[in-house]
Structure 1
Amino acid sequence: MAALYEGYTLCGLVSDKTLSTSGIRGLEEERDSDHVIVTDTTRSVTLYKVSDQKPLSSWTVKQGQTLTSPAVYNPHTKEYVAVSDNKVIRVWKEEDIVLDKTFKATVSGDVWKVHCAREGEAVVLFRRGAVRLLDSLLAAPQQPIEEVLAEEEAIRWSTSIVAKTQQFVIFITEQKGEHFLYLQRLNPNSLQRYRLEGEEPNLSPLSFSASCKDEYICLIHLFPNGHVYQSVISVRGPAADEKACALPLPRSLVLNLPVGEGLLEAASAVILDDCHIAVVGAPHPSAGAGKDYLCIWNTNFQTLQAGIEMAGKIYRQLWSYSNRLFIPHGKSLSVIPFSCPKSSLASALGKLRKAKTEESKPPVCVPSWSNILHGENAQPPKLVETRKMRSTRKTQSALTTEQVLELVKTIPVEEVQREVEGLLSRHDLQDLQPFLGQLALTLVSRSLADPAFYTSSSLAQLVRTRCLCHSVCPDLVSLALERKDYFLCQLCLQFFPDIPEAITCACLKAFIGLSDVDAEKLNLEPDSVSFMEAIVSKHCDQVGLQNGFSPTSFEDSSDAIGAQMRKQDKNAPSSLEQICPVGVQKGALINEVVQMAYSDTFLLPHLKDLSSQHVVLFLQYLQFLYLQYSQDNFAQMHTFRSPSLNQVVDWVCMLLDAHFTVLVMTPEAKGLLLNLHNFVESQVKLFYELGKIEGSLQELDKMKVKKDDGQYSIEVIELF
């Protein structure tokens, strides 16, 4: 069956004062499935990395100008294209900063949208129905633009599709309550016009979505009464231009959504695959009217596959890219991953048989010594029951999930552990995913209500299944901090992708405040501890440093304040000795926090709650990591459970932003700030030298004459 997974927020929305629109004009996929560009309804275009939930770049037009077409990404030229004030086409690259200084061209007609299919060329669709290739239009921006549409006809929706090496521009228009579909072929250039069947009583479609399969284009349109129709159009080119007479476009009812007594107002539907569509803004069949849901429906069997309630206002906008749904609702733009396995009647009814597992294999035959010594005449070997077979046999008579859920509310800790272990030993763990969240909630609620009850091992086992997240069990991390179960905290930080910034800072405060003596008694993840043991080892070479910082450059610094500080602190241990300010176990816990995803806006207020002593200690540890990462042999001991250099630098910046005034006034922090200042200077010097090398290489590349060197050659370039 299709499934919707735990979603997350990509960005906030700045809606208009009337709250009639989301504030987003369009959302397009960029270079790959992890990058999207969002265009707002006013002046800005923002590039986001979806997995990090962070903006990478943003561009804005001048005050008084307005973006009238969503920005698109052209993968062939690696450029962005947008339209401002209906007639100004703007083209820029990612490294451009000021949008007004980039290329722009004013055309002679009002533009509706710019489309750029993944395997096609960028095309411009004008408001009066004309279509031009972007390159040919920019070559002659003031070329005359013909009017294809009638006087009272206006475009309502459009898209571009590549099918069978042909590129199509599809747009739907409305004229006096009637809707028409235009199919524009680019090569050869031809246009077909179809008339869409109406819906009684004079209802206009709420949304359209199109996809291509083989030689056919599939179009679905959703009406306010909940009817979802499908029309199929052949991609085979017509003999002549058929725009003069509108051909009737047949349709078939593929879905009848439950709408209650009223009509849908802000619903939208998109095609996911051949037999699944996603619908937002329609009520759930079992929830009744008044609530908006995101649902995945199977159109082959008319079944609801998955559903999630969407909080806040729905704006009739829904995008689908690379198994992710992008939905503006309320005050946020949410990303919800989904999966749509191959459709069958068994899967639609939820009765699809699982693939045969190891438990269904024949029993293992263990040969005996008699058989080996005496050959085939010996007795046949006995069938030996394996451990997995015994586990399967036991679970066949085990309690149901509902019985286990009621049982753990009253039984002792030891029995809870046995029940959880028995439950997790079942082979159908994925089928138990919803129940595992309920089980964790029950155990956490009982632990909060009863101070004498706490099942650390059971909760850790549930976290390791990767079926939980912070949204499913929001009190789990707080409970672990309250019970000082730092091992469970570490597991949650590793496996939960949606921990809020407030909880992250609470964990950081608890970890830093933990004494090294108490930390050494903890039993933590071996991988994280082994990384700390390796990085604090005295066998590490402390001489050859990279990233622009070395003892020589540090000692040769001409900073007068630095010389004075070194003179005062001759007897103090130098930072270059690289003594770790925290213990191994404590450092392993802090590393988990450093690797957490966060938003600067939400993290800064919580970081200010740290005391000056904790901030100084944390900065000293981050400085220690920076020095260790600068060593030649660091790459050999880098492991999975270790923060990256970028994460270390980001946290340094966040701490300085949150506590700069306090640090300047703290005597213990002066030497630390001086060292960090020297690190920055050395990095600037390094990148300055790299810039000079880059310029030299570019000049050499320009001077190089292309010649045929044969099948094998060695070329040496000397830089003076």
Structure 2
Amino acid sequence: MAALYEGYTLCGLVPAQTLSNSGIQGVETERDSDHVVVTDSTRSVTLYKVSDQKPLSSWTVKQGQTLTCSAVYNTQTKEYVAVTDGKVIRVWKEEDIILDKTFKATVSSDVWRVHCVPGGQPVVLFQRGAVRLLDSLLSAPQQSIEEVLAQEETIRWSTNIAAESQQFVIFTTEQKGENFLYLQRLNPNTLQRYRLEREEPGLSPLSFSASYRDKHIQLLYLYPNGHVYQSVVSLRSPGTDDGAQALPLPRNLLLGLAVGEGLLEAASALVLDEAHVAVVGVPHPSAGVGKDFLCIWNTNFQTLQAGKEMAGKIYGQLWTYSNKLFIPHGKTLSVIPYECPKSSLAAALGKLRQAKTEESKALASVPSWNNILHGDKAQPSRTVETRKTRTTRKSQSAPSLTIDQVLELIKEAPAEEVHKEVEGLISRADIQDLQPSVGQLASTLVSRSLADQAFYTPSILAQLVHTQSLSHSVCPDLVLLALERKDYFLCQLCLQFFPDIPEAVTCACLKAFISMPDVDAEKASLEPESVAFMETLIAREHGQGGLQNGFSPTSCGGDALSGGGTVIKTRAEDEEKLSTPPEQICPVGLHKAVLLNEVLRTAYSDTFLLPHLKDLCSQHVVLFLQYLQFLYQKFSQDTYPHRHGQRSPSLTQIMDWVCLLLDANFTVLVMTPEAKSLLLNLHSFVKSQVRLVSELGKIEGSLQELNKMKVNKDVGQYSIEVIELF
């Protein structure tokens, strides 16, 4: 599990007179992992060699001048960059002694921070939200700087991240209790703006931390009530020129830390890796309020991994470089080395043992919840056993392999042997005990299959998906492997059981399904219930005449309903004749329709899905819309045989996908001649739905008026009453 080691002092502090801050603006990495640049809150920038705990160089601005942002080091030019008095940018080298004699330039707007990632160019973030590369800014220092933020909006935190050969500037703002996140891409120059969900009234985040992982920005933020949230921002999202439109930013609660009776005042949470977070300024769960601790939490299992009491006042500041934490406390800036091994259930529970012999290496490190909760008195789990243990069991006639041995076997053994051993492991182990290893088994099988075209075990992969212990994030290449091998049954299972399939993968499945020939699709063996549903839907005869769910598939010949004198008629009914054909023919084959239904049922976000839908060719868009039209017509009939629990899309999902396709490809469809009649039919669907909702609204109003009327109790045996509805 994670550990904090003995720390040491890097330098002393000169806290402000109010003792509200440490007197340090920032700690930035320099040429390598053993050098850092420390900027105090007044006039000095100092270069330290961490391992020697001594300063190498120091620079100070003149009396009356103030450093207004922390200095950064440009690894490309081997220069330092800082800002004084808000608008004066200073650039110098290590051999320079007096800052006042080095290069400086005055810009036209106040600077918030200068950021620089190793190997990248320095980036200047202005207080009103504009971003400039340092070189382009210094070429014309007095250039006009635009205002990105609103009038009362102020920046609270910022950072710079290099990802996918690009630089991103990330900063958060606050305006009248609302908090926003900005993601500025430098090339091309685009801006994404998000609104953070509100916490309790009056609470704003105390700290932010950002990291890049799996083509997404992971934003971590801590509130005064001890709640640590994470939000994920995709780098693929479309940006705007001015960032005026703020998209909602979903969040999930990673940690709920106990803060005692009051609220946190000076605390910080910092991402260490994908499963560990360092927290400072939050009370230790067992030490009580009043003591300041530095703690490492495992967010996967909600466990406290390591804790260290810090002497003196905590200022809520924390930095990390090369497995070292830099934390100001009291009158010192300390360096605390740490270690975060790969997160696992055994490590989080402190049950991970070091293997001492070859026999112990064969033991699987998957503890049983039963043993953890009840100790040795509980019945031992039936996960995996060593050969020595199994030979003593009379019920086992032949030795079986452990999980670790099976994982090694997958890498080299023939497919038949792998199939036999993995299937045996799944059959003899409890699902709860096997769950932590399902991801390892699936990932190893997928890696071998991608590297070796002759190796593939479809039935084993399907069994692993059926355990419902897998997700796309655990094994991200599984769906793409299934598409590559044209294993449509495995694709269907993944779409059914994976709750976190990205929109790009969903569209990849859609392209594969819609483009494959019906002959190939019919050869696939798919889930029986979904096939049976489509067989029933396609074979169902056309419904009887009349208005069905607001849409009549055929033109009504008369207005009067048989068996009564009431007449239902609309003004447009005599003028408009729908051109829908009398027989509804499914435009795709049975199995292709089943696979398309799975795509319709997959969860998605409109923002992330629309860009991928634009990549569909016009032929596929028209075909998919024709299929959605077919489903709409069938679902609109009173005779539609829908039962609860069937693997079928809902009418709402169908209409949502129609809107998505039209939004993404409307210009292409307008220019496509064969799409004209299709668009007219879809337009009639919309009109019929609008008409239905309008008529229902009238009926609702009439019923409300009737309910308001006073009932005349003095009614004889026979009476005629006329009610006028306006």
TM-score (norm 2): 0.49
Give the structure-1-normalised TM-score.
0.49
